[in-house]
Amino acid sequence: MMDTTRRQFLRYAGALSVGALASSVTVQRPASANEQSLRRATGVVFTRENGARRPLEKVLVSNGREVVRTDRDGRYELSVSDDAFVFVIKPSGWRTECDADGVPKYYYHHRPAGAPNEQLQYKGVAPTGALPESIDFELMPQEEPRRFRVMISADAQPYTGEQLEWYARDTVPDMIGEQAHFGLALGDNVGDNLDLLEPLKQANGVTGVPWYYVFGNHDLNFLSLDDRNSRCTFERIFGPSWYAFEYSDVHFIVLNTVRWNGFMGWATDGRPIRNNYAGHLSGPQLEFVKNYLAHVPESRRVVVCSHIPLISVLSGPRHEVPQSTELFTMLARYRWSNSFSGHTHMNDHLFAGPDEGFARDDGELHHHWIVGTSSGSWYRGPDDEVGIPFATMRDGIPNGYGIAEFEGTDYRVRFQASRRPSDYRMLIHGPDSFNPERDLSATIVANVFDGNEKCEVRMRVKGQGEWQRMRQAPQRDPAYLRLHAFDRANPVPNRVRLLGARSASHMWAANLPADLKPGHHLVEVEAVDMFGEKMKGHKLVWVR
C-alpha cells in the first residue's frame, strides 16, 4: 500500500499540459504524411516593416545539433526528430518577443506524442501534433550598446513558498536597481518543487528585463525514468536546455551540464532519491557548440553558461563535467572566452589551461566563475533583523548575485551581496583587542569575495608605517565558524542547520606589527582584483 506522501508525488500521473508557443513564432498548416515522414522542418525568419513581413537573411537557426543560416528569402531547413526543438539564435541588434515575465520566446517544440505516459510528479508537455509546414520566427530590431551589464542569479533554489518570498524580498529588489540589460539564471532555479518555477519566473520578471534560464539538477523531474524526460517541466516553461544568443559583440552559449540517470526509488523521508545525477555534456550539445562556433568570428568574445561547473573546487561525479576538455579545446581558438556556473554554493574564480584542454600559444587561461548563490547556504541559519535567514555560504561570503559588464571583447565581473552596498566586497577578521606582551602575534585575515590567484592584497595600520603584502592563506572563514557554532547551539525550529565551513582560497593573512602602542588602531586592507579594480576594507583593533 502506497503511503500518503508517495501518493502526493504521483498526483499528476498522466495529467500533462501543453507548452505554450511564443507569439513571435508562427506555424502554418500541418505537413502532409509524406513530408512528415521526411522529418524536415522549414520556415522563415522575418521582421515587420510598415506591417509587412520582410525576410531576414543570414540568421542562424538550429535543431540543437545542426546550425544553418537563412537564405536571401529568410528560409531555413533542418532535420528534426519526434522530440526536438527548433530555435532561432538571436543575432546582435535584434530581439525576440518575451512573455510577461521576460522569458524570450525563440523556439518551437516538436513533440508529437508529448511527454511519455509515465507517472511524473510535475506537468510536462502534451502532444504537439504533426510537424507544421512552416515554423516562422519574428525578430524585432533593438539598440544594443557596446557596453552592457548582465545580472546573474545562481541557485535561487527555493524549496517552499516561504523561501521564494525570502528570495523576492532579499535579492530581487537589489537586482531591480542594477539597470542591467538582461539576466542569467544559472540553474537550480527552484529546489525540487517544480510548482515554484512559474512563481520564480514571475519574481525575476519584476526586474523588467529579459531572463535566460539554465537547467539545474534541482529543476528536474525526479520520477523520470530517463534523462530526456527529466527536463520536460523545465522545457514547458523555459524552452530548450541548451541554446545560444548574441548581444552586442558577445556570443552566449547556454549548456545543460546535468545528466539524470533515472528514478531509483524512494528515500527514507518519503521523497524520490535525488542524487542519481552526474555532471555531463552530451554529444548533441558538443556538436551544437562546434557547429555554432563555425559561424562565430575569432575576434568576438564567447561566454559559456552552465549549472554544474566546467571546472570545480569540489570532486566527484556530481560536481565535475568530464567532457569539459572537449569544450575547452573548441574554445581555445578564441582569444576572448570565459564561463559562468553555479551549483557549489560558494564564490570561486578558477582558471582552465592546457591540463583542462584550453591550450593556447600565448599562454592565456580561460576564466571560469562559479557564482555565489542567491540562496546562500540554502536559506539555512538564524534569521536576521527582518526575518530572512543569514544563509552565509560555507566560504564565509553572504548570499547575493553576480554582475558582469562587457564592452567589446573586454569584461569584468563581481559578486554583490544582497542588501549590502556595492563596495561591500570583503570581510576583515582579527582580534578586537590584544596585548603584544602576552600575545606573540596577532593575525589579520581578509576574505576577499572575488579574490583569486591574480589578485594583490595588502594591509597597513593607519599612521603606523608602509603597506605590507598579505599572503594568500586558504582557510575556513572565522566569522562563519562562529555563525555555525551559534546555529548548532541555537537551532531554528523546523529549519535545516548550516553545513560545516569549507576552506576558501579567497583568504589572505598578515601579522600585525609587534611594536604597536597601546590604544585603538585602524587596520586598512586594500585589494586589487584581476580586472584592476580596487577594493577596500578596515577593522578597528585595541592594543591593551
pLDDT in tens, 105-138: 999 999 998 886 556 788 888 899 999 999 999 9
Q: How confident is the model at residue 69 (pLDDT cuts 50, 70, 90)?
A: very high
State the DSSP H helix or E strand holding residue 253, giving kind and residue range, or none if neither: strand 250-254
What pLDDT score was predicted for residue 33? 41
Q: Is 164 helix (H, G, I), strand (E, B) or coil?
A: helix
Q: Greater confidence, 517 or 257?
A: 257
Q: How confident is the model at residue 386 (pLDDT cuts 50, 70, 90)?
A: very high
Report the first-to-last Cα separation within the chain, whole angstroms: 70
Cell numbers 585589494 correspond to what residue? Answer: 527
CA distance 455 to 472: 9
- Indicate the domain borders of the chain: 4-140+149-417, 426-543
Contact between 393 and 373 under an 8 Å Cβ cutoff? The reply is yes
Enter the C-alpha cell of residue 357.
584542454
From 512, 516, 330, select the one nearest 430 (Cα to Cα): 512
Sign of CA pseudo-dihedral 390, 391, 395, 398: negative
Look at residue 32 and tell me whether its pLDDT is greater than 50. no
Query: How many H-runs (helices) and E-runs (strands) does the chain carry?
Result: 9, 33
Contact between 500 and 380 under an 8 Å Cβ cutoff? The reply is no
Burial class (CB in 10 A: 0-12, 13-18, 19+), 467: exposed
CA distance 166 to 188: 16
Q: How confident is the model at residue 297 (pLDDT cuts 50, 70, 90)?
A: very high
CA distance 137 to 135: 7
| Mean pLDDT over each residue of the chain, to the nearest integer | 91
What pLDDT score was predicted for residue 315? 85
Burial class (CB in 10 A: 0-12, 13-18, 19+), 490: exposed
Contact between 447 and 396 under an 8 Å Cβ cutoff? The reply is yes
CA distance 399 to 477: 15
Burial class (CB in 10 A: 0-12, 13-18, 19+), 170: buried
- Which residues, at least 6 apart from 54, have a Cβ–Cβ distance to it below 8 Å? 46, 47, 48, 74
From 289, 307, 257, 259, select the one nearest 152 (Cα to Cα): 307
Contact between 414 and 423 under an 8 Å Cβ cutoff? The reply is no
Kindly report the CA angle at 314 between 311 and 320, in degrees rounded to 5?
Answer: 45
Full DSSP string of 298-340: TTSEEEEE-SS-SS-SS-STTT--TTHHHHHHHHTT-SSEEEE
What pLDDT score was predicted for residue 119? 62
Look at residue 15 and tell me whether its pLDDT is greater than 70. no
Residue 293 has φ and ψ, to the nearest 5°, of -65, -20
Q: Greater confidence, 30 or 106?
A: 106
pLDDT in tens, 447-488: 999 999 999 999 999 988 899 999 999 999 999 999 999 999
Enter the C-alpha cell of residue 324.
569539459
Q: How confident is the model at residue 56 (pLDDT cuts 50, 70, 90)?
A: very high
Contact between 480 and 427 under an 8 Å Cβ cutoff? The reply is no
Distance between alpha carbon 142 and the CA centroid of its chain, in Å?
Answer: 25
Q: pTM of the full predicted structure?
A: 0.92
What pLDDT score was predicted for residue 2? 45
Full DSSP string of 105-158: --EEEE-TT-S-SS--SS--B----SPBS-EEEE-EE----SEEEEEEE-----
Residue 55 has φ and ψ, to the nearest 5°, of -65, 150
- Beta-bridge partner residues of 304: 253, 339
Residue 200 has φ and ψ, to the nearest 5°, of -65, -45
Q: Greater confidence, 37 or 372?
A: 372
Look at residue 84 and tell me whether its pLDDT is greater than 90. yes
Contact between 386 and 168 under an 8 Å Cβ cutoff? The reply is no
Q: Is 69 helix (H, G, I), strand (E, B) or coil?
A: strand
What pLDDT score was predicted for residue 19? 33
* Number of residues written out for the chain: 544
Q: What is the CA radius of gyration of the chain?
A: 25
Enter the C-alpha cell of residue 308.
554544474
* Domain 4-140+149-417: CATH superfamily, name plus number: Metallo-dependent phosphatases (3.60.21.10)
CA distance 285 to 85: 13
Look at residue 438 and tell me whether its pLDDT is greater than 80. no
Rounded mean pLDDT, 358-378: 97
CA distance 232 to 114: 9
Which residue stretches of 208-339 are H helix? 232-238, 283-293, 324-331
Q: What percent of the chain has pLDDT over 70?
A: 92
Cell numbers 557596453 correspond to what residue? Answer: 147
What pLDDT score was predicted for residue 258? 98
CA distance 525 to 509: 10
CA distance 120 to 262: 12
CA distance 157 to 200: 9
What pLDDT score was predicted for residue 25? 59
Sign of CA pseudo-dihedral 125, 131, 133, 136: positive
What pLDDT score was predicted for residue 439? 72
CA distance 427 to 112: 55
- Beta-bridge partner residues of 511: 443
Rounded mean pLDDT, 164-188: 96
CA distance 274 to 263: 8
Torsion, Cα 114 101 158 173, to 10 degrees, reads: 170
What pLDDT score was predicted for residue 282? 97
Q: Greater confidence, 44 or 51?
A: 44
CA distance 416 to 393: 13
Architecture of domain 426-543: Sandwich (2.60)
Rounded mean pLDDT, 339-354: 97
Strand 140-141, strand 52-55: pairing: unpaired
